[in-house]
Structure 1
Amino acid sequence: MDEANGSSLLLFIIYFPKASNWVPPADIKEQPSYRTALIVTFIAVVYSAALAVATIAIGAVAPEYLQAYANSLGIFAAILTSIQYFPQLWTTWKLGRVGSISIPMMCIQTPGGFLWAASLAARLGWAGWSAWALYLITATMQGVLLIMGIVFELQHRRRKRAGLVPESETTSVSGDTISEEIEGPQETSPLLNDRTTKK
C-alpha cells in the first residue's frame, strides 16, 4: 500500500459518518455501519500485506519471475483503477453537475498525472509499462472527468445567466451543495445503487 492510499484509508476511517452525528438523505434506507468501514479497511491492509509477502518471497526464491509478477500486478491495478472511476463518471454524467469535485484541483492533478506517467515511461521504457500504464490510465480518467465537469459548469453558468436556473440552485465552485428541490441524483446520492437505495 503506497503512502497516498494509506493516507486515504486513514482519512476514510477518521471521517466515516457516525450514526450519532450524520443523518442520511431521505433516499437512503440504511447507511453502511462503521463496522463495515473497519472490515473494508482490514481487508485492504491484509491484501497489501499479502502482496508485500508474495513480492519478497518471489524475489528471494525465484527472482527470474519478478518481471512477470510485476506485469500481472500492473494489469490487475490498471483494471481496478479503470473500474474505480466509472461510478464517479456515471454519477457526474447523470447529475449533469460537478458537485463537490474541485475543478481547479483536477486542473492541477490531471496534467501532473500525465507528466508523472511520461517521466516513468522515459526512465523505464516499454519494459516498465506495468509501472507507468497505471498512472496513464488514471490521468486519462481524471481528464475525462475534468472535461465533463468543465462542460457542465459552463452550461450551468450559461443557463444561470439566461435565468433558467432557480435561485435555490448554487454552483459547486462556491462550495455550496445542490438544492434538494432538484430531481434526480444529488451530491449525497450513493455512487453505486445497491440494496440500501431505493430502486
Structure 2
Amino acid sequence: MKHEQLIRFVERNVPVDRFDIDLIENYFEPVAVNKNVVLEREDKIANHLYFVNSGFVRVYHLENGEEITTHINCQLNFITSFNSFITATPAQDNVESITPCELLRISKKHLDALYQQSEKWTKFCKKIYEQSLTFNEQRMKDILTLPAEKRYLKLIATQPEVIRNVPLQYIASYIGIKPASLSRIRRQVIS
C-alpha cells in the first residue's frame, strides 16, 4: 500500500483511526519520478507538498549561476518550497528529485481540507512544524559556528544515508562549502 509509511509516520506522533486513514488515502496522491525531475520550479507557485516514501529530494536556488542546495530530504519526511506553498506566491527555489523517488503529494486545497476535517492531522502537523523549526534553527547555527569538517562529520553521524546516496556536489553545497574542500575533508576523515 502506497500510503502505509505515511500512516505509520503519523501514528508515531498522534493516534489515528480509520477516518483519518481514509482522509490520508483520499488526499495524498502517489507519484513516482525519475532522478533529476524538478517537482516545483522557481518563479512558479509551489502546487504540492510531498511526502518522501523512498528516494532523495533537494531544495536549491541559483545564485550567480551556481546551484545552492539549502535542503536535502530523505524518506519519511515532507518537502516542498514551503514559503511558496503556504503563501501561494512564486517560489524562490526549486524542488528536485536527486534519485528515483516514490512520493505522496497533496495540494494546498486538499491539505486545508484535511486540517478542517481532522483535528488529529492538525496536531500532527503542529508537531512536525515544531520539529522542523528546531532542525532548521540548529542547522543554521551549525553553518554559522562549526568549521566545515565538523559540519561534514555531523552529517555523517546524523544522516549517513545522505552521504551514501547524494552526489558530493549537493552535499558540499548543503553544508556550505565548495566540492574541492569537501574532497579534501573526506580524504582527511578517511585517512
Q: Where is the helix percentage greater, Structure 1 or Structure 2? A: 1
TM over 0.5: no
- In terms of fraction of residues, the more strand-rich structure is 2
TM-score range, shorter chain: under 0.3
